[in-house]
Structure 1
């Protein structure tokens, strides 16, 4: 379900609306224009000649059709011009000057169509690269993966980019199933690179480490090392950090979920009885743990300093753990990035996520299912912002499958 929802229609072919039954009908537009111009010129007589306006026909074809179709309309426009113009007596003919105009307009239209086709092929190639990058960072998750029903959607603020610093994943392992949802500060390839680094560490640590707090420590260390590496390459871009929510589903305690929150919006438990934030162990965003000792063992030194990117020998007090809260079987855990909570309408009003969710599940308790919940939030944000997203937006929902509880 995640894979189906995550594919937002970020880019529609500019001629997609000119299709009927799966077949392109864009050629009808220049054809109707050609027929209309010829009919007007023949019916209005000698006093109102519009035959030279046929030069517009190949230009319209160049904007809507392929190169071959544009060539056909360029030639057809010339033939129509000659046929219509010779139907008038010599004193009223447009003559050779307009014939040259139509011919030159057709030639330029063909060139424009070829340039447009090349640009579209290049943009398509770039979209393929972005899609491959997205699938690498946000890998597809099988249905019912690790005993969790899940759904997610990623909406890029830059619709041509299709990828940004938001990330999520589910990792099963011998110590339970772990879930990570987060948002890297900043945009561009640097944010994507950081997200990929954190996800790689999460997939390994979540599988091997029995303690969720240790997984959180590994993420902190990875961010620190990543910043040091990029700084050594001369690409240090400040104190890049990430907010995230780390969840742990234990096989032994099926009614609880362990939560570690790295400065992120609290996950929401959404069910037929309403919406409630789920408490968890609070930490600073990933990348700032060394400032307050959130990382057991601490971190010292400048991220650009090479050897300093290692744990110090000075013990640091670990953050106080919060008991794992209970999650009811009919509740879904919803985690969103700030693209949802900070979405504004034209008047500057924020999207009221909790209020809208509470209304939705009150009207229809079945809306709490992960796929329907994600769709509801996605559609609500797009309506609220009228499709003008100011930031990358991720909505991710999970709940235990009935046979996975206990």
Structure 2
């Protein structure tokens, strides 16, 4: 199954979308107790402390510090909350000048400073809230696009147990060029994972085009090489269309791994590698890279015209999980510039518990190890995808 990662990212369907928390969401979670916001307590305690300190001492006019309270509220509370604290600050200031009278009055200049400070804080809060609402609106648009273009993957889809996670290099990003999917059909179940070169909407557009072609070709074509050929042609057509529209990404390409689980080969898989990191077979007996050679990335067939796409056949036992990652994992660096030892980390994890090589556990191992290695500073969008035969025949319409 797929793993939604709240507080980090979530993957639904085949195209990877980041749903990292915004600064507003992180602040709200930090200043919440059992789902209820306690952000108002910060300026309230500050105002109380100022009032108490002003009453308890006459060394200096600490009541003038009330001008800071609306500013703090503007950073944490909504517009109404900020306005309330602006009024409360003004009331405390007036009380200190006209009721407590334990020192000289601060006079009109101090009063005007508190009034102006409160007004500025309310305006600042309005701008901040409006900006946060725009950001949330853009996220909703991206997620709606995701649900419209992409489909969720049901548990056990195509006779495969599966799990995946996506980590965005930009925590505020909503879309990326990493993609994956599972397509069952009369010729077996096909799996695709890839990474479109570049970022932004152009990469998303190319990934969506490849996914659409994969879903049709993987269902109808009996030969995995023909499916691979359709993907290559689709990438070339997409580039031509983009160039005809005047786009600057007419030379875009994509690395990918195409895997076929044939019905008549329960102990093996077919693989076409388009210049991508080879998958790992992970089972109770250990970890091994599948012996497949990497061909050219999708969109580069013009460099070798007339060449035939190689389809490799590799053994894969029923208790082995196929682990696929994008280069965000293998190219993750620590502060000293060292790459993340992906293979060694998986080997160590399996050695620690050979009995558990489930897709979900492997995805968690790679995700956590990558983030620890790079201290949470990813240099590229990252997808981890794991599949294993579920021991039941695939269901296809």
TM range (shorter): over 0.9
Q: Which moved more, 1:2-11 or 1:230-239?
A: 2-11
- For residue 39 of structure 1, what is the aligned residue in structure 2? 52
- For residue 2 of structure 2, what is the aligned residue in structure 1? 2
- For residue 306 of structure 1, what is the aligned residue in structure 2? none
CA distance, structure 1, for counterparts of residue 352 and residue 150 of structure 2: 33
- For residue 356 of structure 1, what is the aligned residue in structure 2? 345
Aligned partners of 1:137 and 1:167 also within 8 Å: no
Q: For 2:267, what is the secondary structure of its paired residue?
A: coil
CA distance, structure 2, for counterparts of residue 66 and residue 366 of structure 1: 51
Once the two structures are superposed, what CA deviation does each residue of 1:144-194 show, in whole Å capped at 9, x if it has no partner? 111100001111111211211100000111111000000011111111111
CA distance, structure 1, for counterparts of residue 346 and residue 149 of structure 2: 29
Compute the displacement of 1:291 (Å): 1.8
Partner residue of 1:157 out of 165, 169, 177: 169
What is the aligned residue count? 381
CA distance, structure 1, for counterparts of residue 323 and residue 29 of structure 2: 34
- For residue 198 of structure 1, what is the aligned residue in structure 2? 210
Once the two structures are superposed, what CA deviation does each residue of 1:318-368 show, in whole Å capped at 9, x if it has no partner? 24443x211111111010000000000100010001111111011112441
CA distance, structure 2, for counterparts of residue 325 and residue 212 of structure 1: 14
Compute the displacement of 1:403 (Å): 2.6
- For residue 368 of structure 1, what is the aligned residue in structure 2? 357
- Structure 1 position 144 matched with structure 2 position 146: no
CA distance, structure 1, for counterparts of residue 204 and residue 249 of structure 2: 13
Q: For 1:178, what is the secondary structure of its paired residue?
A: strand
CA distance, structure 2, for counterparts of residue 367 and residue 19 of structure 1: 37
CA distance, structure 2, for counterparts of residue 265 and residue 338 of structure 1: 7
Aligned partners of 1:281 and 1:321 also within 8 Å: no
Aligned partners of 2:83 and 2:122 also within 8 Å: yes
User: Which 4+ residue blocks in structure 1 deviate beyond 6 angstroms?
Assistant: none
Q: For 2:205, what is the secondary structure of its paired residue?
A: helix
CA distance, structure 1, for counterparts of residue 371 and residue 146 of structure 2: 21
Q: For 1:257, what is the secondary structure of its paired residue?
A: strand
Compute the displacement of 1:288 (Å): 0.8
Q: For 1:368, what is the secondary structure of its paired residue?
A: coil
Q: Which moved more, 1:50-59 or 1:126-135?
A: 126-135
- For residue 120 of structure 2, what is the aligned residue in structure 1? 108
- Structure 1 position 336 matched with structure 2 position 345: no
CA distance, structure 1, for counterparts of residue 249 and residue 127 of structure 2: 37
CA distance, structure 2, for counterparts of residue 320 and residue 202 of structure 1: 17
CA distance, structure 2, for counterparts of residue 234 and residue 9 of structure 1: 31
C-alpha RMSD of the superposition: 1.7
Partner residue of 1:385 out of 344, 349, 374: 374
Which residues in structure 2 correspond to 1:86-97 (within 5 Å)? 86-89=98-101, 92-97=104-109
Q: For 1:325, what is the secondary structure of its paired residue?
A: strand
TM-score, normalized by length of structure 1?
A: 0.90
TM-score, normalized by length of structure 2?
A: 0.92
Which residues in structure 2 correspond to 1:21-100 (within 5 Å)? 21-45=34-58, 47-89=59-101, 92-100=104-112
CA distance, structure 2, for counterparts of residue 281 and residue 211 of structure 1: 19
CA distance, structure 2, for counterparts of residue 320 and residue 109 of structure 1: 65
Runs of at least 5 residues in structure 1 that lack an aligned partner in the other structure: 294-315
- Structure 1 position 231 matched with structure 2 position 221: no
Runs of at least 5 residues in structure 2 that lack an aligned partner in the other structure: 11-17
